[in-house]
Structure 1
């Protein structure tokens, strides 16, 4: 019998909510993201978006429907400027997406929009800085800007605060809260302080199955969740905070 990464996960994300997907390592969180964006093909079940069955859709078609994903590792072009990165994401509106030979004149039409997006994530002053020179937290903020440039109806954020110090974590959490207005966000996140401050609803996975679901108050006091995840994670975070 083959290994099942996730099984019988019934996940409903409400429009306009920030929904957090949490659980211990190996619980199946990133696998769920891979299924939603068709990086993996499900062997059973269905995936519906706005009432449409997208279970067998191609990744590019899912993105065109407005399901846009960020990754654990920052996925921006390091040897381009912050402005150039956002302009490339905006190129889709011109129908010239991924055609890197597009003229500068065409791309210049997008400067105002790109600058507005950079300003929305606090990076306007870094517009002309090469991404390779940006601090890690600012690279993640830039990735959120490029994700927003694709006009997501559903944003999938995979570990948006991973590897950050406390100051950057707070900055990115505030940024996610700010850009969530009028949008729907599903995020995988290990930092429970971030989850507690942002999430309207939380789904807890363990061994590929749904262990609990609800708001933070109900989930955090669930004995099964405390045993599987929250207790050990809280201790780990306390250790990290005092390190």
Structure 2
């Protein structure tokens, strides 16, 4: 088994005449938190959708644990240990927090559509579901419907359902999108706690979150890799400063 859990080799995606991702090479180190950042239009969302198999690359290759998954479907990678979240919380609003997590456990066990199973039988999953809720600080909200949870706690519930699938690789799409300062801090802390034993890739616009969590950062601009490395190195890169703030490399060096 290699040190890299996920690799993209010369990955390109074109939409008609527009090249959204252009020859990107990416290596995600096992057990790390790897952030993908960039200004608007950089290709972050396209790259994320390529890695999670929601779209197919025009050319290039994606490897997971040394296996070529370039042509796999999103449903296939989910069964192999790759699970993604979405910018908008993707939980069932009228199910309780416990029921949402239990459903993810059913999916993992291959009984997700057995709605006729007795309540007593499904209740066997409750202890693990409560443990997952406790892991993200939602144990006391187990019997509250998801629609009644504040936004930050809905995102925590989504992470709990993701953990229920026991992913080896979690891909988080803008996990703090639309949050206030308090919720951003809570979700940042949560991601830091659940990283043990797994790898996390996240697209994130909040550079404070990236600075606190990410071991490695890849900066995209116009569909290409502009810089890569730890936050301290990337944040001082003149090309990155120019892409984010419109400050030229010459002005930075001056």
Q: TM-score band (shorter)? A: over 0.9
The superposition leaves residues 55-85 of structure 1 with CA deviations (integer Å, 9 ceiling, x where unpaired) of: 0011111111111000000000000100000
Aligned with 2:144 (options 110, 129, 132) = 129
Aligned length: 231
Give unpaired runs (5+ residues) of structure 2. 1-15, 247-254
1:225 aligns with 2:240: yes
Matched with 2:5 is: none
1:95 to partner: Cα distance: 1.7
In 1, Cα distance between equivalents of 2:121 and 2:27: 40
Matched with 1:52 is: 67
Normalised to the residue count of structure 1, the TM-score between the two structures is: 0.92
In 1, Cα distance between equivalents of 2:39 and 2:114: 40
1:19 aligns with 2:42: no
1:99 to partner: Cα distance: 3.8
Matched with 2:170 is: 155
The equivalences for 1:12-91 within 5 A come to 12-91=27-106
More helix by share: 1
Matched with 1:235 is: none
Aligned with 1:181 (options 196, 214, 222) = 196
1:38 to partner: Cα distance: 1.4
More strand by share: 2
In 1, Cα distance between equivalents of 2:23 and 2:109: 40
Matched with 2:209 is: 194
> Residue 96 of structure 1 contacts residue 102 of structure 1 at CA under 8 Å; is this kept in 2?
no
In 1, Cα distance between equivalents of 2:74 and 2:107: 15
Give unpaired runs (5+ residues) of structure 1. 233-243
In 1, Cα distance between equivalents of 2:68 and 2:116: 35
Q: What secondary structure does 1:46 align onto? A: strand
1:10 to partner: Cα distance: 0.5
The superposition leaves residues 179-198 of structure 1 with CA deviations (integer Å, 9 ceiling, x where unpaired) of: 00111000000100000000
Large movers: runs of 4+ above 6 Å: none
1:199 to partner: Cα distance: 0.3
In 2, Cα distance between equivalents of 1:75 and 1:99: 21
* Cα-Cα RMSD: 1.1
1:168 aligns with 2:183: yes
